[in-house]
Structure 1
Amino acid sequence: MIKKSVFIGLLGALAASLYAYPNFKTIAAGIAILLFGMVLLEEGFKSFTKGPLQKILKKTTNKLYKSITAGAFVTAIIQSSSLVTVIAISFISAGLISLSGGIGLVFGANIGTTATTWLVAAFGLKIKIAALAMPMLIFGIIFSLQKKLSLKGLGNVLAGLGFFFLGIHYMKEGFDVFKTYIDLSQYAVSGFLGVIIYTGLGIIITTILQSSSATLALILTALSAGQIEYENALALAIGANVGTTITAVLGSLGSNVAGRRLAGAHFIFNIITGIVALALIYPLANLVDRISELVDIAATNYTLKLAVFHTIFNVLGVIIMIPLIKTIERILLKFFKEQKDKDIDEPKYLNAAVLKFPGSVISALMNESKYLYKNAIFEIVAHALNIHRMDIKSDEKIKDIVKKSHRGFNINIEEMYYKKVKHIYGEIIKYATTAEKDLKLNARQINTILDIKIANRRMIEIINHAKELNKNINLSLNQDNKYVVQEYDGFRKKVTKVLRIIYLFRKAEDSEIYAKKLAQLKKEAKENIRYSNKSIDRLIRKDLINAEMASSLFNDNTNVNEINKKLIEVAELLYGKKDTLLETQNV
């Protein structure tokens, strides 16, 4: 409600400004065209995030220097630190990259966003608009109408750049015309008070425009038209950097705790960098003057000097923050904690942020399914056998484990299902269906999601079989018939063996050996029904068990073999795949 009221208020203020100052409309139109160009740029580059871009960001986050370089390089190319931040939040939420890797990308993105300042100052304000922007718009629109995704993406990029330069042109023209009626430079405030006021103004403008690049373009065009003083422009640039954290914060609202931690890191970085830049604004301005002399930038070329200043304080911010990364991580981990002691288990990887890109949602679905399988399903099946999970994971012989585990755990599998599985299973299916409906997936991605859905259905079936098996295992403990106990001990050994091999299969670096063992066990599970039935028949013929016991054994023999087959099938579907991000992308 508040957000809607603020939006309506801003629209009203804009309408009043256009009415009171008709000549302001050219500047406003320029801002609108530039923002539209940036939207097209972002949409265009999103077409390529399904392939090379995500691969670059995924592969370059194992080392800090790599992630900073990648963040700077990618942001400089795509002209959107916001998109890089959104991708980083999406990847962290999906468990694809670490928090420190995401922090490196954000740090690099702050350096990369200075490319916009250089593009506008050194190029955008000096070109003839018809010479560059118009051809870009013409070819961009032609390509964007094509059916092929890569051509459509290229078209959006070209059209976006065309509108970007066109917007700068109109903003510059608008300020030139506007100066005839009102000279905004008359409102310049010198000294540190002016620095504080204009920094706050930069934060407000960026918060409204939701783009520090658009704010910087506005500052540069106003500066080139002489509508603002150089000193005030420096403060506005600092404010623009601080204001861009709003985008990261908004982008993290739909993410999990990992995504919020990254947004927190982005906020801390920009606030500290802004404070340092404010404190050192005059020494940094003097440094810019010296550098400008060295590289032959004219003393009155304030737009290029602003670009130098913007680059220096962003690079300085990264240099200051690098030694503090571990400290920042500890603070964020302490401040943004995982929720515990919940009545119902919540998804660990699934959140709105992962739905931005096919790679992140598929990886999140896969990680969520693996987490469900190795924790909830493993626990439910082990406890259904009245066996501790740690015993299964140990090196103790299976026959000894079963022999010592003849006491019922008194568990309620139905209750465990509702607490640990049902909600997460529902979310997995919901996110999988949403991805299939809303995202443009290729055939391999569709098949991967199908495998994930099948694996989750099999997990639910395993729980149903385990519930029936547990009931009869506990009944056998209260019977004096040793033959029934022996048969159920045999069932428990079979399932325990499969659970152990699956555990080793998941943990092993070279899983090929265990994959072959699982294939053999699955084959045995299919063949065991006939063999085990003969064993039960023999007990019936010798009158060693009654009809009711025999009925339970026949049913549970089927349950055991179904549990084993489905446990193995799920393991193959979830762990028999290579990296889902890299293996399911469009090339």
Structure 2
Amino acid sequence: MLTHIGNLFAFIGGLGMFLYGMDIMASGLQKTAGSKMKELLGYLTNNRFLGVLVGALVTAIIQSSSATTVMIVGFVNAGIMNLTQAAGVIMGANIGTTVTAWLVSANEWAGALKPDFFAPFVLGIGAFIITFSNRQNLTQKAEIAVGFGILFIGLSSMSSSIGMYQDSPVFYKAFQILGNNPILGILTGAVVTAIIQSSSASVGILQTLAMRGIVNWRSAIFITLGQNIGTCITAILSSAGANKTAKRAAVIHLLFNVMGAAIYGVIMTIFFGVFSDLAMQHITSTQISTFHTIFNVSVTILLFPFANLLVKLSGVIIKEDVEETEDEDEEVEEMVLRHLDPRILETPTFAVENAVKEVARMGYIVIGNLNRIIKEAGKEEPSQKKLDKIFQNEEVVNHLETMITGYLVKISQLSLPEKQIIVVNHLFDAITDIERAGDHVENIAECMQSLKKSGVRLTDEAKKELKEMAECTKNALHQSVRSLEEDNAELAAETRQKEQMVDKMEKEIRKNHIKRLKTESCAPEEGVFFMDIVSNLERISDHAENIAQYVLDENEKNITA
């Protein structure tokens, strides 16, 4: 009895090490490939073929189709990916997840290089590097080694714990029943995968059983088909609090896998009916990997031309509310984070990239307000409607500052490469500068409103000076936000030049204003508002320079690293 309990504990411990090893290895791979993630995002266009490739690559890196799909749901919910793009990436994710199965089966076909033979050595080397090395790039690679080692030690533990049961009639009878009943086999695979929320892990368990000669062809095939359906549960649960479009992305994932399982379920039932001798023969771990790959690649090829049909079908299942499809007020939409979603935190590298986009969006709202100021400054009397819009937009900026800060706090708690830690720290400072720049734009709008109410009018010369200075300030702010968004040191350097131009203009305007006061060509009341506006413009350019400096600092550290 104690022997059986000990074997159960060993199997559970081995499964835990396998899952933990996958997680650590995926984390290390993400950090190491972090610099390439932005490039991968750039391929997420309406070209579905590229979407398939990106989905396969990302899943191969993070070792989980479930995590990739959850991330896709987050992108769709954040409005940075449409359903057509999502369909292609989801298809690719199913191909990428086959990498783990081939790693597991390497114990059969790798000969003298069997992973479980040298896994302890790899784990030991990785642990020594993490403990004694101060070089982050090296420790990130060491994480991959540690994850790899733990993964295969876990597999070895699982395999050893069930070794004494390989001739057990209970296992034989169980898999015979599952093999003879395709629906039951598919359901078993789906339920087990849904419980542990990882098709890679459930396939790994099946392969471990296959290594001990416990699993037959028929049961393995139908369980594998069910595992592809069960992996959808993670994305479906993740989409529970998302918008309708994100829910449709999760449904596309489910439809794709259910259709694939149904097609192959029929084909393999007929196949085993013809080749009945093969059906009850033992299957190897490598043969499971081969079928798993053929299944996912062929289903992708088969359903790829019908991606738009899957998108339409998802719309039939998840119907859009009339209110959501109608045009809403622009300001209400801006109160929502467009590029950030909690699901994206599943992949820290993408979370940082999208945080940059959201901070840039906040900056562009302030730039839009400043542009309205420029237009109104040249008019005889500013429009109250336009000024009110500036005030409303400033409320949006304040709201975004709070939400983005909260999101950045969550990102900063994740495991990130050193470069991205620096980026996140600078984003905290950048949103403060953008928010303060927004405050100064609001101050200018209030000055213009006060001028309007008092009946005081600026001279034509003063209007011209303000417009020129405001235009230069806007250009400086725009370049600084672009430099942040694109990580462009050249634009950042140009921003500093623009800021210096604004400083010179401010000094010149002050001199001219004093001359006008001396000659009494402008009233003192006018001068108070005028100089307040000039002062606020100069401070906006200072904040633009601060933002540009963050970009320059990041690039300087990258060069010296």
TM-score, normalised via structure 1 length: 0.74
1:186-242 Cα offsets, whole Å, 9 max, x none, are 245669981111211111111222221221222233345454443222111111111
Letter of the 2:229 counterpart: V
> Which digits, 9 at most, give the CA deviation of each residue in 1:419-449, with x for residues without a partner?
311110122333345544544452x545544
2:536 maps to a residue whose letter is N
Separation (CA, whole Å) in 2 of partners of 1:568 and 1:369: 13
- Specify the alignment match of 2:232 in structure 1: 245
Matched with 1:215 is: 202
Question: 1 or 2, which has the higher helix percentage?
Answer: 2
Gaps of 5+ in 2: none
- What runs of 5+ residues in structure 1 fail to find an aligned partner? 1-16, 293-297, 388-400
Q: C-alpha offsets along residues 265-318 of structure 1, whole Å, 9 cap, x if unaligned?
A: 43332232223222333246589999x9xxxxx975455444333222212220
Aligned residue for 1:558, secondary structure, equals: helix
Contact persistence 1:289–1:299 (CA under 8 A): no
Partner of residue 295, structure 1: none
Per-residue CA distance 1:13-42 (angstroms, 9 max, x = gap): xxxx99997654444344334333323332
Aligned twin of 1:462:
437
Which residue of the partner structure matches residue 295 of structure 2? 313
Q: Which SS does the other structure have where 1:183 is aligned? A: helix
The answer to whether 1:533 aligns with 2:510 is yes
| Residue in structure 2 matched with residue 381 of structure 1 by the alignment | 370
| Partner Cα distance (1:520, 1:527) in 2 | 11
Match of 2:91 in 1: 107
In the alignment, which of 403, 407, 414 is matched to residue 427 of structure 1?
403
On the 8 A contact 1:528/1:561 being kept in 2, the answer is no
Find the residue that maps to 2:25 and give its secondary structure: helix
- Preserved CA contact (<8 Å) 2:75 2:339: no
RMSD (CA atoms)? 4.9
CA contact (8 A) 1:385 1:470 kept: no
SS at match of 1:350: coil
Aligned mates of 1:556, 1:150 — CA distance in 2? 49
Aligned twin of 1:322 = 304
Match of 1:57 in 2: 40
CA contact (8 A) 1:345 1:423 kept: yes
Q: Is the 8 A contact 1:134 1:162 kept in 2?
A: yes
Give the match for residue 352 of structure 2: 362
AA partner of residue 131 (structure 2)? L
Letter in 2 for 1:495: A
Aligned length: 545
Provide the C-alpha distance between the structure 2 equivalents of 1:258 and 1:586, rounded to a whole number of angstroms.
44
Instruction: Specify the code of the residue in structure 2 equivalent to 1:57.
Output: L
Distance (Å, rounded) in 2 between the aligned partners of 1:523 and 1:178: 79
Whole-angstrom CA distance in 1 between matches of 2:299 and 2:147 = 30
Kindly state the Cα deviation for residue 146 of structure 1 after the two structures are TM-superposed.
Answer: 3.8
Pick which of 198-207 and 182-191 moved more: 182-191
Whether 1:32 and 2:24 are equivalent positions in the alignment is: no
Larger mean Cα displacement after TM superposition, 34-43 or 499-508: 499-508
Q: Tell me what 1:41 maps to.
A: 25
Partner of 1:474 in structure 2? 449
* TM-score, reference length from structure 2: 0.77
Equivalent residues of 1:143, 1:151 under 8 A apart = yes
What secondary structure does 2:148 align onto? helix
Change (3 A) 1:507 1:178: closer
Answer yes or no: is the 8 Å Cα contact 2:358–2:404 preserved in 1: yes
When residues 149 and 357 of structure 1 are mapped into structure 2, their CA distance, relative to the original with a 3 A threshold, is farther
2:196 & 2:140 partners in 1: Cα distance?
24
> Is the counterpart of residue 551 in structure 1 residue 528 in structure 2?
yes
CA contact (8 A) 1:384 1:413 kept: no
Aligned: 1:562 with 2:552: no
Q: 1:483 to 1:538 in 2, by over 3 A?
A: farther
Change (3 A) 1:364 1:115: closer
Question: CA separation in 2, counterparts of 1:163 and 1:303?
Answer: 19
1:73 and 1:466 map into 2 onto residues whose CA distance is 44
